[in-house]
Structure 1
Amino acid sequence: MITTIFIVIAVIVLLGVAALAIHDLLQTKDPICRNYPVVGHGRHFLSELGPKLRQYIVADNNEERPFNRDDREWIYRSADKSNNYFGFGTDNDIEQSPGYLIIKQSTFPLFDPQPEDEGYDPDYIIPSTKVIGEARNRKGAFRPNSIINISAMSYGSLSAPAVEAMSRGAALCGCLQNTGEGGVSPHHDHGSDLVWQLGTGYYGARDADGTFDEKRFVETCDRFNVKAIEVKISQGAKPGRGGVLPGSKVTPEIANIRGIPVGKSCLSPNAHRMFNDADGMLDFVERLADLSGLPVGIKSAVGQLDFWNELVRHMETGDRGIDFLSIDGGEGGTGAAPLVFSDHVALPFRIGFDRVHRIFTDAGIQDRLTFIGSGKLGFPEETLLAMAMGCDMINVARTAMMAIGCIQAQICHTGKCPTGVATQDKWLMRGLDPTDKSARLANYITTLRKEVLQLCRACGEAHPSDMSLDHFEVLEDRFQARPIG
């Protein structure tokens, strides 16, 4: 009798496990459980158990890097459109945290509309105050609908479902999507306005030998919804180094889009063939603008300042110029890189952007172009500080990845991303449903814009571009604080 009971229980358990496995494989909400049926629930169990055990055996809320537990939790809750409030006050040790950012609110804040108020905007659209390309009369000059947009992440580095989710999500919330240097793919073609990034490999616009191809460039601009061109000089993850896409990720589709051999590692040069100084770069920029009619800008991390001084000298004449400038901080990181480049090459965003912006401001030409910041700026306080420093817009990358499912496993370069975001593995990719994740991305961008506006109104300002460094202070030790400006 007892043996029969145990057999019945075992059968029931096995049937339950099988039913759960089938459910996990068919559902589209959770990529971890879809890729790892049944056992994936262990992660959720540990996540729930973690806060109760954290003070004894795991890291606290602010220890992990590059994004700590509080950062990730805020992103996930915002993307899920759930309650992203935190109770019982801050758990940051403010008095013992030199460099801690403080936003100074106004005694009389601006009225903040509520859902029932006239003029309430559920999407919290914050258009740019500048028209990109207007100063140089580009045919395709436009005013971006959102000051917060998706930064450069290539198809190849990211999976097809991830790129599609970002494209659909960008369309939903009205922001721009940067293609990354891997070229424009059909997975970008889901309603979003695109910024096509041309890196040193000129992928999607190159001959077989890697030289820039005008015909392919124009064909791509005409085929897709490209609103602007970004020439990548360098990126924060590995400034001075070219990108690497392992051969295991170079599928026939990716090879065709990029114009490279199938299955062979794609090694981008660390420098451009078409120019080697600011003068030659401006010639290339004007060539791209003439061919496409679109605004053209550049993206770069900041190291030595000779290039920036030379660029400004050439632009002062007014004959040539970039339409926008994306400055990436050395803390940027969607690309895998040698550790020394990640840790020690290029200035952090706050320092690098300030130095470059001052060069343009001192020359009196800062209004001729749009300034864009990137490098861990995907949080309300960091976005607002970047705007106060002179940014007209900001780009987000890793936080956007988290919004569509990334769990900061930090194995992007292995092709084994467990959530299907940064991989070309067909089994892992199937765990990421583009429709569900596009909504999560749109929720994250919308929530970020909402909280940025709420901070502005708390400070008595109507738009992030109205913020100044006078609204901020930085804490120092011995109970002191200093203004930033």
Structure 2
Amino acid sequence: MENILTFLGNIAWWGWLIVVLAIIFIYDIFQKKHTILHNYPIVGHIRYMLESIGPEIRQYLVANNREELPFNRIERGWIYASSKNENNYEGFGTDRDIYDSNYIFVKNAMMPYRVDKKHPNHKDPYFLACAKVMGEGRRKRPFRPASVINVSAMSFGSLSARAVASLNIGCKLSHAYHNTGEGGLSPYHKQGGDVVFHFGTGYFGVRDNDGNFSMEMMKELTKNNPQVRAVEVKLSQGAKPGKGGVLPGSKITPEIAEIRNVPIGKDVLSPPTHSAFSGVDGLIDFVEDIAENTGLPVGIKAAIGKLEDWEALASKMAATGKGPDFITVDGGEGGTGAAPPSFADHVALPWIYGFSAIYQIFKKYNLTERVVFIGSGKLGFPARAVMAFSMGVDCINVAREAMMSIGCIQAKLCHTNACPSGVATQSKWKQRGIDVDAKSIRTHYYFKNFRKELLEMTHAAGYEHPSQFTMDDVEMATSDKEMINDLSSIFKYNKKPVLFNGISSLQNCEHLGGGYSIKTEKKVVKEALKEDNVRY
């Protein structure tokens, strides 16, 4: 009897399966949306399933260690290991094709720079402040970044609340600054780290009810938040220059609406151009007005394309003594939460070409000592940072590299609000996977280990600080008849020497940010050295 019931049960199971497949078959035949399903009913679904998991298959099973873009597996692995304070070395030798075009070679010195027992980096191998001061001699509250690597512009809204909080606390621990991105100053940016307040054409956080820039709101924001050390005006960004953003109404929570001063439930459009000023003269006046009303250094951020307005800006800055205190140059390879492929792929120059063009213009007008140059666009690796410093940058900002330090897996779903790691989504459930205490420590270690390795490469080249690199210290494979050339030969200029009086002078600077204190830092560094048995 039991065998008969089992047999009938099996028949019922298979019967239901046949019915379901028949329904799918009939639906596929008569639906008109997908040709593949019409021509290959049932089987066609397998094709769509494989296509949906294709990126994961390529990322984990198919692509080799150096193949993926924008960051390959070796690069991601270095960031993950550094942020976890684990062994970030590699064995047996490089697996890079060192004869490949655009390969970077850093010239080492016969005798490396000696760090004796009296040198600040002997006691604190992580200390590496900016060699220049933003707004020195021009603003009421000048600012020397206490770290040469900092968090680039990423807004609350683009990133989750827990991601922003993790980055800010990580900045506090590593004495870096945290750029807010153009979503306004959120509570998650107020966890103790230095802040650069950034805004774009939407003026979020400093916009009135009509969507216009409000100087009164700017004054109030900087007055009530002393951790804001500088203000950055976004003209454009590398991934989508000349295109405004769209914040869908479905993503605007009551919290985001309050921070950005926008209505709940309505799409918010950021126009491609600023309404608060027009032209180069208007930009200079706008920068000076903000600096006068806040006392803070004010800079601009832009991706680089046409150079006529940059020439005009430098000329007028030289003639008037006015204008931005710092300039952030973003590369066309920079990241974004969402951008049309045509913009991300083709609009704006890559960082190395854009920055070299801008630096030469400002050098011609003798402005390189006055302006602090910040590089942004896949520079969060020590060798690329050496290249950038040799070309004239004073600091670098990192975005996606910082995201990886708190768990980003390069799923490339930022534009869908479905980020699986909880970093670039407003999903409360997915955000819960981010432990703020743990992830902030990882940001802290990524920045500290980055600075330490950058210092080691600097010392290997015979220098004390990366600001001392010149374009003759770095060569690049060019695949031409001469095979490799130093950067000064490739880009036809050399940077002007940075006025640098030693690491000790940076530690003792009254404008040094990041809450850095030699006395309190000694204990922190001592504990860090105890924890790290791999590198010390």
Decide which of 323, 327, 346 is 1:325's aligned counterpart. Answer: 327
After alignment, is 458-467 or 218-227 more displaced? 218-227
- Provide, for residues 18-70 of structure 1, a one-character-per-residue CA deviation record: whole Å limited to 9, x for no partner: xxxxxxxxxxxxxxxxxxxxxxxxxxxxxxxx99x98xx51111110000000
Q: Name the aligned partner's letter for residue 144 of structure 2.
A: R
After alignment, is 158-167 or 221-230 more displaced? 221-230
What's 2:281 paired with?
Answer: 279
Aligned counterparts of 1:320 and 1:482: Cα–Cα separation in 2: 37
Decide which of 81, 85, 90 is 1:86's aligned counterpart. Answer: 90
What's 1:314 paired with?
Answer: 316
After alignment, is 151-160 or 267-276 more displaced? 267-276
Q: Indicate whether 1:175 and 2:179 are aligned.
A: no
Closer/same/farther in 2, CA of residues 204 and 367 from structure 1, 3 Å limit: same
What's 1:196 paired with?
Answer: 197
What's 1:103 paired with?
Answer: 106
Closer/same/farther in 2, CA of residues 266 and 110 from structure 1, 3 Å limit: same
Q: Is the Cα contact below 8 Å between 2:143 and 2:230 reproduced in 1? A: no
Superposed displacement of residue 318, structure 1: 2.9
Closer/same/farther in 2, CA of residues 443 and 123 from structure 1, 3 Å limit: farther
SS at match of 2:320: coil
Aligned counterparts of 1:298 and 1:125: Cα–Cα separation in 2: 27
SS at match of 1:120: helix
What's 1:10 paired with?
Answer: none
Q: Name the aligned partner's letter for residue 318 of structure 1.
A: T
Superposed displacement of residue 223, structure 1: 1.9
What's 1:423 paired with?
Answer: 425
Aligned counterparts of 2:248 and 2:122: Cα–Cα separation in 1: 48
Q: Name the aligned partner's letter for residue 152 of structure 2.
A: S
- Provide, for residues 221-279 of structure 1, a one-character-per-residue CA deviation record: whole Å limited to 9, x for no partner: 12222100000000001111112323332110001000111133322111000112110
Q: Indicate whether 1:65 and 2:76 are aligned.
A: no
Q: Is the Cα contact below 8 Å between 2:115 and 2:121 reproduced in 1? A: no
Q: Which consecutive segments of 4 or more residues in structure 1 shift more than 4 A?
A: 116-119
Aligned counterparts of 1:112 and 1:384: Cα–Cα separation in 2: 19
Aligned counterparts of 2:88 and 2:477: Cα–Cα separation in 1: 26
After alignment, is 470-479 or 353-362 more displaced? 470-479
Superposed displacement of residue 202, structure 1: 0.7
Q: Is the Cα contact below 8 Å between 2:121 and 2:127 reproduced in 1? A: no
SS at match of 1:297: strand
Superposed displacement of residue 474, structure 1: 1.2
Aligned counterparts of 2:282 and 2:340: Cα–Cα separation in 1: 29
What's 2:45 paired with?
Answer: none
Aligned counterparts of 2:446 and 2:63: Cα–Cα separation in 1: 25
Q: Is the Cα contact below 8 Å between 1:75 and 1:399 reproduced in 2? A: yes
Aligned counterparts of 1:122 and 1:464: Cα–Cα separation in 2: 16
Unaligned runs of 5+ in 1: 1-49
Closer/same/farther in 2, CA of residues 268 and 121 from structure 1, 3 Å limit: farther
Aligned counterparts of 2:135 and 2:120: Cα–Cα separation in 1: 34
Q: Is the Cα contact below 8 Å between 2:298 and 2:326 reproduced in 1? A: yes
Q: Indicate whether 1:159 and 2:163 are aligned.
A: no
Q: Is the Cα contact below 8 Å between 1:237 and 1:335 reproduced in 2? A: no
Aligned counterparts of 1:107 and 1:172: Cα–Cα separation in 2: 36
Superposed displacement of residue 479, structure 1: 8.4
What's 1:365 paired with?
Answer: 367
After alignment, is 327-336 or 261-270 more displaced? 261-270
SS at match of 2:485: strand
What's 2:148 paired with?
Answer: 147
Aligned counterparts of 1:105 and 1:400: Cα–Cα separation in 2: 28
- Provide, for residues 59-106 of structure 1, a one-character-per-residue CA deviation record: whole Å limited to 9, x for no partner: 1111100000000000000001000011111111223x1111111111
What's 2:526 paired with?
Answer: none
Superposed displacement of residue 143, structure 1: 1.4
What's 1:482 paired with?
Answer: 485
Aligned counterparts of 2:228 and 2:219: Cα–Cα separation in 1: 11
Closer/same/farther in 2, CA of residues 118 and 364 from structure 1, 3 Å limit: closer
SS at match of 2:312: helix
Superposed displacement of residue 122, structure 1: 4.4
Aligned counterparts of 2:265 and 2:124: Cα–Cα separation in 1: 46
Aligned counterparts of 1:378 and 1:244: Cα–Cα separation in 2: 28
Superposed displacement of residue 218, structure 1: 1.3
Q: Is the Cα contact below 8 Å between 1:334 and 1:397 reproduced in 2? A: no
SS at match of 1:281: helix
Q: Name the aligned partner's letter for residue 437 of structure 2.
A: T
After alignment, is 79-88 or 217-226 more displaced? 217-226
Closer/same/farther in 2, CA of residues 130 and 118 from structure 1, 3 Å limit: closer
Alignment TM-score, normalising by the size of structure 2: 0.78
Unaligned runs of 5+ in 2: 1-56, 489-536
SS at match of 1:358: helix
Percent of paired sites with the same residue: 50
SS at match of 1:230: strand
Aligned counterparts of 1:347 and 1:259: Cα–Cα separation in 2: 33
Aligned counterparts of 2:201 and 2:444: Cα–Cα separation in 1: 31
Closer/same/farther in 2, CA of residues 283 and 94 from structure 1, 3 Å limit: same
Aligned counterparts of 2:121 and 2:198: Cα–Cα separation in 1: 36
- Provide, for residues 180-218 of structure 1, a one-character-per-residue CA deviation record: whole Å limited to 9, x for no partner: 010001110010110000210111111111111122111
Q: Is the Cα contact below 8 Å between 2:284 and 2:322 reproduced in 1? A: yes
Q: Is the Cα contact below 8 Å between 1:238 and 1:335 reproduced in 2? A: no
Aligned counterparts of 1:166 and 1:267: Cα–Cα separation in 2: 27
Superposed displacement of residue 111, structure 1: 2.6
Superposed displacement of residue 118, structure 1: 8.2
SS at match of 1:222: helix
What's 1:42 paired with?
Answer: none
Aligned counterparts of 1:113 and 1:405: Cα–Cα separation in 2: 37
Q: Name the aligned partner's letter for residue 457 of structure 1.
A: H
Aligned counterparts of 2:147 and 2:394: Cα–Cα separation in 1: 10
Q: Is the Cα contact below 8 Å between 1:472 and 1:483 reproduced in 2? A: yes
Q: Is the Cα contact below 8 Å between 1:152 and 1:181 reproduced in 2? A: yes
Aligned counterparts of 1:263 and 1:184: Cα–Cα separation in 2: 21
- Provide, for residues 146-173 of structure 1, a one-character-per-residue CA deviation record: whole Å limited to 9, x for no partner: 1111100000000000000011000000
What's 1:13 paired with?
Answer: none
RMSD: 1.9
What's 1:14 paired with?
Answer: none
After alignment, is 231-240 or 256-265 more displaced? 256-265
SS at match of 2:150: strand
